[in-house]
Structure 1
């Protein structure tokens, strides 16, 4: 009898958690969608599509045809004629400190959106310490000091690694030595409180309630107008202790030089200064990714700053970069043919 009462109470509890959310699917299916992220290191471009019904899983938004007026600090700098799928201009490169506004007419609707390009991140210093582990990987610990400006600011940390790898000639493969350039985005690991402050896990709670800060974004809430030293680390893995710059194809290979060998790598650290729009977009995008498949979670809307439409128009400054390069085996780029990485699709340029 007690068991029957217990399960009855559980059923009542679960049913009481249901929440009905009304929505007009047809209204949401015809929004003008504008997407553009502009920075000082790239030419202006924006995509233009139409939203589809949430019931059409797996379908991409179809391209729209429309016109667009682009303003810089309130001055019209370009009128784009009717184009399908978006707009681009090789001669327009956004500038730091400038405000940009798009007025787009498409599908019988007019939408507007604007953003500002932040100034370059002021980096005071960067220090690194590298250590090898017993598992033949390398840990790089970073201390990055930045000087925050007065006012509300937002930042993002991104680290890319390029590795040029030599694959020795093999029988049956035209007996040709091949070179591939691999590009990966390194995972950033940190217990620094500014990274944790983005979601609900700021401080030293036993239970971490928020999602991971995979985009490595953070506000200046805790160091406004001051200098602050970020601490974080990355891991690099090697396949062969006998050849720490990659080759050999495994620790059991008695001839490590017979396998693939990393002959060069480059690590680029980006300290991006984000507009508030881009910070909010990345923050809520991660929340959406974390909770959208959870039936017990509240719906999370992806941030949009497009009036009368949907999408994101956001600026960032990517001018603060630090590059570390290592050459393990001498080579000349003029005498080798570098091929596209078959796994990631990145290409040497």
Structure 2
């Protein structure tokens, strides 16, 4: 046996090779899918929809934009009308020029109404998504203390549906020389989710939490009312800027999409960050149909 070690080694390798099995893994998203994006602002008088085809991750192709889709709008399950192409925007690819088609229809977006958008693209199943338009956020008793940099206000929820709120603060340069943009803030309110200072949601309690966005649900309101208390970080800009509180009353779909989109934006192209799957509520496709109601409230000093 010692004279022929190579024979037994070859026999062992042959047996090992004969026991292997090739498994083909079906990776999700390997085929193009239709993508429908519709954001509905309560109070708007026009509905816009964009359509494109997704690009598989292993492909080097550019997205394509169907211009032969049939797009329908439903208001509380009743057909409201057909969206027509109203914009043709050039898309400059590496070696070609394509056209992105925007479908639109004059139609008022009313609070409390549920809107569904369906799209038929040749060769694919009907794709659809829906969302209910929220009421206008009711913000009261807005106060700011320039010494402590504490901002406080009350949100009164008048919407019978269960929804969410997104809070931002911007500083606008009143001299017109330059803009300041979003303001970073912190809070000790454990019912708020903070996002925007890092690429992850901040779960309170932690030391010195901060963010540029705060999310909360009307489920944590007491008697339909919630007092928001925030501490503005950085230097005080009240002498040269106008602080603006931006409150967005939004549907569950907008809340989930907004959170994942912000994390995706902050992740950037860093290969060490965990991949983010953007929220989608589109049946038989990808994308988002979501309703929201954004209002701006200037801070008086």
Q: Following superposition of structure 1 onto structure 2, how do residues 82-161 of structure 1 map, counting pairs within 5 Å?
A: 85-89=101-105, 91-109=106-124, 110-131=126-147, 140-149=149-158, 152-161=162-171
Distance 2:221 2:232 in 1: 24
User: Which blocks of at least 5 consecutive residues in structure 2 are unaligned?
Assistant: 1-23, 87-99
| 1:331 counterpart residue number | none
Match of 1:31 among 11, 30, 33: 33
**Cα displacement (A) at 1:225:** 4.1
8 Å contact kept, 1:151–1:225: no
Distance 1:40 1:223 in 2: 22
| 1:14 counterpart residue number | none
Distance 2:278 2:48 in 1: 21
62-71 or 146-155: bigger deviation: 146-155
User: Given the two structures, how large is their TM-score scaled by the length of structure 2?
Assistant: 0.70
Distance 2:276 2:298 in 1: 37
User: Which blocks of at least 5 consecutive residues in structure 1 are unaligned?
Assistant: 1-19, 132-138, 167-179, 246-261, 327-349
Q: Following superposition of structure 1 onto structure 2, how do residues 326-341 of structure 1 map, counting pairs within 5 Å?
A: none
Distance 1:293 1:146 in 2: 37
Q: Deviations over 1:223-253 (max 9, x none)?
A: 36442211113356489xxxx95xxxxxxxx
* Number of residue pairs matched by the alignment: 256
**Cα displacement (A) at 1:213:** 5.3
Return closer, same or farther for 1:95/1:25 CA change in 2, 3 Å cut-off.
closer
**Cα displacement (A) at 1:54:** 1.3
Return closer, same or farther for 1:38/1:23 CA change in 2, 3 Å cut-off.
same
| 2:179 counterpart residue number | 182
| 2:279 counterpart residue number | 303
Match of 1:191 among 153, 172, 188: 188
**Cα displacement (A) at 1:182:** 3.3
Return closer, same or farther for 1:238/1:154 CA change in 2, 3 Å cut-off.
closer
Return closer, same or farther for 1:22/1:141 CA change in 2, 3 Å cut-off.
farther
8 Å contact kept, 1:152–1:224: no
1:45 matched to 2:60? The reply is no
User: Given the two structures, how large is their TM-score scaled by the length of structure 1?
Assistant: 0.61
8 Å contact kept, 1:280–1:303: yes
8 Å contact kept, 2:263–2:276: yes
Return closer, same or farther for 1:213/1:128 CA change in 2, 3 Å cut-off.
closer
**Cα displacement (A) at 1:205:** 4.9
For the aligned residue pairs, the C-alpha RMSD in angstroms reads 3.6
Q: Deviations over 1:19-69 (max 9, x none)?
A: x98514532xx1111112211254421211111121357x76332221211
**Cα displacement (A) at 1:302:** 1.4
